[in-house]
Structure 1
Amino acid sequence: MGGLLSGIDQSLISGANLYLPGSLHLDTKQVSLVSSGVPLGAVGGALMLGPLNEWLGRRMAIIVSLVLYTVGAGLEAGAINFGMMVAARVILGLGLGLEGGTVPVYVAESVSRKYRGNLVSLYQFMIALGEVFGYVVAAIFVDVKSGNWRYMLGSSLVFSTIMFVGIIFMPESPRFLMHKGKTTEAWFVWKRIRGEDEEARKEFFVMKHSVDEEFALKQEAGRNRRFIWMDFLTVPRARRAIIYANVMVFLGQFTGINAIQYYMATLMAQVGFDAKKSVFMSLVGGGSLLLGTIPAILYMEKFGRRFWACAMLPGFFIGLLIIGCSYLIDPHTNVAGAQGAYITGLILYEGFFGSYACLTWVIPSEVYPTYLRSYGMETSDAMLFLCSFLVTYFFSQMQKAMSQIGLTLGFYGGIAVVGWVYQLLFMPETKNKTLEEIDVLFSQPTGELVRENWRSVKVTIADFFCFRWGKVFSPVSEGELFRGENNRMSMEKGEEKDEKVPMSQ
């Protein structure tokens, strides 16, 4: 429900933007600020994430976000001028930022490692489904003669109310309870959601040991909690995690996804669709994003994060290439060609990005150490919505300055290419690892990770050009992953080993 609500509130503005400016007499800059008001407010919501998650817990932080959602949606529907609309969008954004960073952490801290990637990916699926619902709602109310945009924007009240009722019956995150020293309460929640089998008991014991060890290390180092943020600079393991997570978030946003989502109907109009058809055709983009998330939900844990990221980026770069080329076709002389090329590129871009976008929620939710997870997610959440605000607010100006093809292919496409190279060299594999095993992974030096990744890239390229495609696309088995992990740990202890399997595989 959190993802569904997030997606709805991000896509409703696309259809409303065709009618709202005329009703409230907004100029181009005011429309840009209204459109980007949600991601701007979400930056503030993200900055509230750490304190509220630490003081109130994951569950109560979600409840606070739902109150903000409801207030913001009510103000949107009743806005009578530009100032009231911007205030409503910012308040709605506060709820979005707080909820968007808390729900993935709540899931990651509660579920088994073999389901974690799939279930956090399901959050992105629900965002995409919510965006489709937003376009559907816009299409439902498009023929309302007076104030259709008010019905569009106010419809999210229904979904925030449903989620508010549902979250009341949910337990607190067991890892958060353990982090706060409530071991008994954490165990009761753990039994409720995970059962009492041997694997669940072992993971609970490892979690308790890891949290106790983190607390002991902090006490031994004499760190004061007022300066806990310094750990992201002074502790190599935490520093690697925050850089890695936020680069992934940056790549997800600066390849243009939210700019295209927020201005979907406007972009459709630029290639020859009228206002009403633009609203309906927006469903094509939203539907492609939704369908694109399904493979990630089903196969994220089978193929792993690294393979998924490196395979998806080239795909949506091709989509951006086709979208850019569609602008070379004059819609006045060849409207079918311009529309066909644009829709084809949009389907490819949104489809591949749907799978890639799942990583921007999975990666930050699992790479931070437990005692820094709230603060780390705060930075990642703030980065996500700050980037979203920048690409949304400056979209019109950048399109005018760079031209349509320059922005789409040169800027967004160029960042996709640079990001692909980054991922090949710096991205580790966290598939099928507990959160405590990921701590060990991020404790290795960055140089060692890059060397292992480079060896893996060379082997994959050789397999690809020698037509050994079965090896290129085959998932790594659990045994191989654990053998690589054990070999690395043996090397650290100075023990002999027969072979070393790169962890990056």
Structure 2
Amino acid sequence: MADEKVTPAPKAQTAKQAEGLDEAQVENLSSSLPPLNEKDAMAVAQAGGWEVDTLIANMEQELEAAGGLSKGFFDLEFQDKKYFTWVIVAFASMGGLLSGLDQSLISGANLFLPDDLGLTTRQNSLVNSAMPLGAVGGALILSPSNEILGRRWSIIISTILYTIGAALEAGSINYGMIVAARVILGIGVGLEGGTVPVYVAETVERKVRGNLVSLYQFNIALGEVLGYAIAAMFVTVPGNWRYILGSSLVFSTIMFIGMLFLPESPRFLMHKGRTLDAFRVWKRIRGTDTQETREEFFVMKVSVLEEQQAVGEGSSNKRFPWMDFFTRPRARRALVYANIMILLGQLTGVNAIMYYMSVLMHQIGFDELRSTYMSLVGGGALLIGTIPACFLMERYGRRFWGNMMLPGFFVGLAIIGGSYQINITTNPGGAEAAYLIGLILYMGFFGCYACLTWVVPSEVYPTYLRSYGMTVSDALLFLASFVVTYNFAAMQNAMGRTGLTLGFYGGIAAVGWVYQLFFMPETKDLTLEEIDLIFEKPTREIVAENTRNMKQGLSDFFAGRWGRKPENRAIRPEKTDKDSEL
């Protein structure tokens, strides 16, 4: 079967199978594939149209003619497809473990590495921030890597970079070598960080997509706790920081081996016009036994055809698809929305606090050994905070997590800022207690919120722009992380500890909360193709809907109607070519 054509069934078969559609609609649909737009495709699929069954039947015939499913050494297959989903998520999300591990390992090394290598304060700031700086470079190669090599091989390459960077870190003998090692490590982090959430989002079913993408953030938090634990294990060992930084070699090797057994993303294969390969992967990881999986494959194919037509309308866009971020309102809205979420996650200071955790503990009165152990408190709170999001993201939705968590970690920042006003000399116990309470609240609520910074960008971009969009989001995330981390010591000296924590970080959290209340759409329990339809609507309509839902929510709350769910009217909007706002 050619990728661009589905052979219609006879009219008698059409009339019999297309339940819920009258004869005129059937005739219209039978002559419109392709092109069907996403809205029409969903209507056909939900009505049980013959096009779905015809497409799957033709794909089965073509697959059989091509020799069926491959049975190579690296081609895993499970009779129960849910096991495949968990294997994919387990190994792909291990990238989050590596990312978190390498973020927190430097915290323990900070107590010893500067003296051993003779680093100044400014040089050590660059050592700490070299990884997010390198991650910006990794993000910049994300798009060509994803488009040319695919999601799977991009992740494999990132594990190789992790391994090289960790080995060089452990063997560093001077300032230049440690900075180079951190940059190489960062390139792997940047490449993997923007690819893994997309890979998972494009592969798993919509009902659990938010929960499973959230596992990436859970693994980041788990890696951070593990990094603090490893630092505590080696803190008294001679050459401690070398063992601390080199420990991630073990995990990058495991992830490299695991990724060799995983398939490519079916949506990427469809995007590249490799429909048969996409179907072959779909059969292995999702199957076609249920009507839902058959319909989702149908909608995925039609949506890609629709996007290809949109790209082909102008020669400039065909050569440079990323120009659609400037010329297509739907793409522009997704870009703005995803990257504001990224900035809100980074400019509230989490990475600076993570990288300097041991140093901050030392500032409030703990000695070096106790500072290393007490860092586990912050990392543990972050890990525990991600757990509710992993299980409940799809139940309560993105807006709930965003709008409930931001005020929570603002309170934590306020308590941390207040703890610096307590005199450490006269009341050391009070200062330590207040700081730790604030840190636990901040990290706990941020753990829930941080899941959104990976879920949102991974699902809001159109398929043909997803790698370009994730390049921007990934680069912005690590650039913001670099700026915050590199300037942490200077900003603390200039603003004071309370001014930086409560004034700067807390102020951004407060402004971000107001933004989210009005501008954040709900995307839970929707396919990636249905999310396209939400962002087709003008921003003013999304704001109007959020305002209505907030008023209704307050009314229901005070009236005791706490189980009522707001209506998501953004689904299936009418497209408009006249809309030109963000």
TM > 0.5 fold call: yes
CA contact under 8 A between 1:108 and 1:366: conserved in structure 2?
yes
Q: Does 1:147 align with 2:239?
A: yes
Deviations 1:48-94 (A, max 9, x none): 10000000000010111111111100000000000100000000000
Deviations 1:285-312 (A, max 9, x none): 0000000000001110000001110000
Matches within 5 A, 1:391-410: 391-410=484-503
For 1:178, the equivalent position in structure 2 comes to: 270
Task: Give the Cα–Cα distance (whole angstroms) in 2 for the partners of residues 476 and 372 of structure 1.
Answer: 32
Q: CA deviation at 1:227?
A: 2.2
CA contact under 8 A between 2:534 and 2:573: conserved in structure 1?
no
Q: CA deviation at 1:490?
A: 7.4
Task: Give the Cα–Cα distance (whole angstroms) in 2 for the partners of residues 82 and 223 of structure 1.
Answer: 46
Overall identity of the aligned pairs, in %:
68
Q: Does 1:306 align with 2:306?
A: no
Task: Give the Cα–Cα distance (whole angstroms) in 2 for the partners of residues 303 and 183 of structure 1.
Answer: 35
Task: Give the Cα–Cα distance (whole angstroms) in 2 for the partners of residues 380 and 366 of structure 1.
Answer: 12
Which residue, 238, 251, 265 being the options, matches 1:159? 251
Task: Give the Cα–Cα distance (whole angstroms) in 2 for the partners of residues 78 and 94 of structure 1.
Answer: 19
Deviations 1:129-170 (A, max 9, x none): 0000000000000010x2100000000000000000000000
CA contact under 8 A between 1:241 and 1:442: conserved in structure 2?
yes
CA contact under 8 A between 2:99 and 2:220: conserved in structure 1?
yes
Task: Give the Cα–Cα distance (whole angstroms) in 1 for the partners of residues 147 and 318 of structure 2.
Answer: 12
The one-letter code sitting in structure 2 at the alignment partner of 1:158 is V
For 2:547, the equivalent position in structure 1 comes to: 454
Which residue, 124, 127, 133 being the options, matches 1:40? 133
Q: Which runs of 5+ in 2 are unaligned?
A: 1-93, 577-582
Which residue, 293, 298, 315 being the options, matches 1:205? 298
Task: Give the Cα–Cα distance (whole angstroms) in 2 for the partners of residues 404 and 304 of structure 1.
Answer: 35
The one-letter code sitting in structure 2 at the alignment partner of 1:66 is T
Which residue, 499, 505, 515 being the options, matches 1:412? 505
Secondary structure at 2:565's aligned position in 1?
Answer: coil
Q: CA deviation at 1:218?
A: 1.6
The one-letter code sitting in structure 2 at the alignment partner of 1:394 is N
Q: Does 1:371 align with 2:460?
A: no
* Structure number with higher helix proportion: 1
Q: Does 1:119 align with 2:212?
A: yes
Matches within 5 A, 1:214-229: 214-229=307-322
Matches within 5 A, 1:314-463: 314-463=407-556
Task: Give the Cα–Cα distance (whole angstroms) in 2 for the partners of residues 409 and 475 of structure 1.
Answer: 35
Secondary structure at 1:109's aligned position in 2?
Answer: helix
Secondary structure at 1:252's aligned position in 2?
Answer: helix
CA contact under 8 A between 1:327 and 1:404: conserved in structure 2?
yes
- TM-score with structure 1 setting the length: 0.93
Rate the CA distance shift 1:23–1:314 in 2: closer, same or farther, 3 A.
same
The one-letter code sitting in structure 1 at the alignment partner of 2:481 is S
Secondary structure at 2:521's aligned position in 1?
Answer: coil
Q: Which has the larger radius of gyration?
A: 2
The one-letter code sitting in structure 1 at the alignment partner of 2:256 is F
Task: Give the Cα–Cα distance (whole angstroms) in 2 for the partners of residues 375 and 383 of structure 1.
Answer: 12
CA contact under 8 A between 1:266 and 1:278: conserved in structure 2?
yes
Q: Does 1:279 align with 2:372?
A: yes
Deviations 1:276-332 (A, max 9, x none): 000000000000000000000111000000111000000000000100000011111
CA contact under 8 A between 2:348 and 2:509: conserved in structure 1?
yes
Q: CA deviation at 1:457?
A: 2.0
For 1:476, the equivalent position in structure 2 comes to: 565
Secondary structure at 2:119's aligned position in 1?
Answer: coil
For 1:69, the equivalent position in structure 2 comes to: 162
Deviations 1:443-463 (A, max 9, x none): 000111111111222233344
For 1:238, the equivalent position in structure 2 comes to: 331
Task: Give the Cα–Cα distance (whole angstroms) in 2 for the partners of residues 209 and 419 of structure 1.
Answer: 37
Task: Give the Cα–Cα distance (whole angstroms) in 2 for the partners of residues 310 and 198 of structure 1.
Answer: 35
Rate the CA distance shift 1:490–1:399 in 2: closer, same or farther, 3 A.
closer
Q: Over aligned residues, Cα RMSD in angstroms?
A: 1.4
Task: Give the Cα–Cα distance (whole angstroms) in 2 for the partners of residues 26 and 490 of structure 1.
Answer: 60
Deviations 1:187-211 (A, max 9, x none): 1111111121110010000000000
The one-letter code sitting in structure 2 at the alignment partner of 1:476 is K
Q: Which runs of 5+ in 1 are unaligned?
A: 493-505
Q: CA deviation at 1:257?
A: 0.4
Deviations 1:20-43 (A, max 9, x none): 001001111011000001000000
Which residue, 25, 28, 47 being the options, matches 2:121? 28
CA contact under 8 A between 1:268 and 1:282: conserved in structure 2?
yes
The one-letter code sitting in structure 1 at the alignment partner of 2:249 is L
Task: Give the Cα–Cα distance (whole angstroms) in 1 for the partners of residues 574 and 252 of structure 2.
Answer: 51
For 2:390, the equivalent position in structure 1 comes to: 297
Q: CA deviation at 1:229?
A: 1.9
Secondary structure at 2:320's aligned position in 1?
Answer: helix
